[in-house]
């Protein structure tokens, strides 16, 4: 744990940037065809519920991060094993996102550049940021949040002015029924990106005002969900469902179709800026969670010394994780969303919450002072 304090607004910004991160770039929920936006919105509702689970856990232990209270809840040995699993999960997720990024950049802009170099550069910047600590990351987030939204609004206006919208493309509504949408929600959008907010369970104790976590989190997830749904709807209405679902990066294709006054076209750089910013924050937060969990688990005194080797580990993981982009995506769909995400994002936190309720209920029974103490410490 470092000595740092972040504000509620900063948490909101971090959540927003984290959720938008890579999700805004890739064809998320495209399996739900024209109803992708609906699947995203429903996933967002689920994500908010999951966030409440994480928040409730935090309220039981307002001074501890996720990997610390795991030990308290399930016992030392099992707790340590679980903590270690979470470290691996965070690091693996960071590596996955980094790989996503490298693949994107290589596919459309830097065809001849090795993946290793592209990823190395970004991870170096991330290492630099993490060494500066969560406070600096949050402040940087505040700056780029403004930049990102300026870009988004400009892009949106340009799309409107170039007359590319065809809302008819979103029809027919629910062509394949609710079944498909709900399936996509349960298998994808609930976890990516909304459930991933579990990394913030590693950051909650840094908040100046713990009462505002709930509002910041809900606002962050809500806004990001609406934005993602909007972006997906825009993609489909501009590109049509066939192009949107065949695009590796639908947002890129959408941005590329802007053509105004023979001058404002080829705005790929818009996409690249938003991509680098989003990915930077997503990897950074995963990475930060992994580093701080490792520090706690192995009781390392100087976390900043850990940043460098772990960064390199993530870099190498990101490169060796898959041979091709298709393999990488397939791996993501099968391994990550089918097994890792439900397990780490839903099952374990819910079980933990159950245990926490049970323990606290027992404690309340034993002595009412305990409850008072808990509420005191929450206030503090």
Binding residues for another protein (CB under 8 A): 7, 9-10, 105, 107-114, 117-118, 120-122, 124-125, 127-129, 131-133, 136-144, 146, 168, 171-172, 175, 239-240, 242-243, 253, 256-257, 259, 262-263, 265-269, 272-273, 276-277, 280, 304, 308
Whether cis (ω within 30° of 0) applies to the bond prior to 91 is no
CB-nearer residue toward another protein: 182 or 272: 272
Q: Which helix H or strand E contains 260, and what residues bound it? A: strand 259-260
CB-nearer residue toward another protein: 163 or 380: 163
Residue 124 tokens read as: 């170096």
- Distance of closest approach, residue 266 Cβ to another protein, in angstroms: 5
3-class SS at 70? helix
- Distance of closest approach, residue 332 Cβ to another protein, in angstroms: 22
- Distance of closest approach, residue 181 Cβ to another protein, in angstroms: 15
Listed residue (13, 35, 366) closest to 180, CA to CA: 35
CB-nearer residue toward another protein: 67 or 237: 237
- Distance of closest approach, residue 18 Cβ to another protein, in angstroms: 16
Please tell me the distance from the alpha carbon of residue 48 to that of residue 214, in angstroms, as a whole number. 10
| DSSP annotation of 198 | G
CB-nearer residue toward another protein: 304 or 378: 304
- Distance of closest approach, residue 139 Cβ to another protein, in angstroms: 4
Other beta carbons within 10 Å of 26: 19
Please tell me the distance from the alpha carbon of residue 146 to that of residue 152, in angstroms, as a whole number. 10
Please tell me the distance from the alpha carbon of residue 158 to that of residue 259, in angstroms, as a whole number. 8
Query: In Å, how far from its chain's centre is CA 375?
Result: 31
CB-nearer residue toward another protein: 73 or 127: 127
Phi (first) and psi of residue 260, to 5 degrees: -130, 130
Helix segments in the chain, DSSP class H: 8-20, 36-60, 66-74, 76-108, 115-132, 134-161, 177-184, 213-246, 250-256, 268-297, 303-320, 325-331, 341, 348-366, 368-379
CB-nearer residue toward another protein: 107 or 368: 107
- Distance of closest approach, residue 261 Cβ to another protein, in angstroms: 10
Residue 142 tokens read as: 């505040």
**114-117: long-range pairs with CB below 8 Å, 24+:** 115/319, 116/315, 116/319
CB-nearer residue toward another protein: 211 or 305: 305
- Distance of closest approach, residue 288 Cβ to another protein, in angstroms: 13
CB-nearer residue toward another protein: 135 or 331: 135
Residue 263 tokens read as: 């001058």
- Distance of closest approach, residue 124 Cβ to another protein, in angstroms: 6
Contact call for residues 349 and 343 (beta carbons, < 8 A): no
- Distance of closest approach, residue 56 Cβ to another protein, in angstroms: 28
CB-nearer residue toward another protein: 269 or 350: 269
């Amino acid at each position: 744990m470092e000595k740092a304090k972040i504000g509620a607004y900063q948490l909101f910004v971090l959540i927003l940037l984290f959720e938008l991160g890579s999700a805004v770039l890739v064809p998320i929920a495209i399996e739900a065809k024209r109803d992708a936006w609906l699947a995203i919105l429903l996933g967002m509702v689920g994500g908010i519920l999951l966030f409440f689970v994480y928040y409730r856990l935090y309220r039981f232990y307002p001074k501890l991060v996720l990997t610390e209270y795991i030990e308290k809840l399930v016992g030392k040995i099992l707790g340590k094993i679980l903590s270690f699993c979470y470290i691996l999960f965070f690091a693996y997720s960071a590596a996955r996102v980094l790989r996503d990024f490298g693949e994107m950049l290589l596919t459309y802009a830097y065809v001849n550049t090795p993946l290793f170099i592209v990823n190395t550069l970004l991870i170096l910047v991330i290492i630099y940021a993490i060494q500066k600590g969560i406070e600096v990351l949050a402040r940087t987030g505040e700056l780029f949040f403004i930049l990102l939204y300026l870009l988004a609004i400009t892009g949106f206006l340009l799309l409107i002015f170039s007359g590319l919208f065809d809302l008819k493309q979103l029809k027919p509504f629910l062509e394949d029924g609710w079944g498909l949408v709900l399936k996509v929600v349960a298998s994808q959008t609930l976890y990516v990106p909304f459930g991933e907010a579990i990394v913030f369970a590693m950051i909650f104790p840094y908040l100046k005002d713990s009462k505002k976590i709930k509002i910041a989190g809900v606002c962050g997830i809500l806004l990001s969900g609406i934005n993602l749904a909007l972006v997906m709807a825009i993609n489909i209405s501009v590109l049509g469902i066939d192009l949107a679902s065949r695009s590796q990066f639908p947002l890129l294709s959408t941005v590329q179709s802007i053509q105004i006054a023979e001058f404002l076209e080829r705005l790929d750089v818009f996409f690249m800026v938003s991509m680098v910013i989003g990915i930077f924050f997503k990897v950074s937060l995963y990475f930060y969670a992994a580093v701080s969990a490792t520090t706690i688990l192995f009781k390392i005194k100087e976390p900043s010394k850990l940043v460098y080797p772990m960064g390199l580990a993530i870099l190498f993981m990101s490169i060796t994780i898959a041979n091709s982009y298709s393999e990488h995506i397939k791996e993501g769909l099968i391994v990550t969303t089918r097994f890792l995400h439900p397990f780490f994002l839903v099952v374990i936190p819910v079980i933990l919450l159950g245990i926490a309720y049970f323990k606290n209920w027992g404690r309340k029974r034993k002595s009412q002072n305990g409850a008072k103490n808990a509420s005191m410490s929450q206030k503090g």
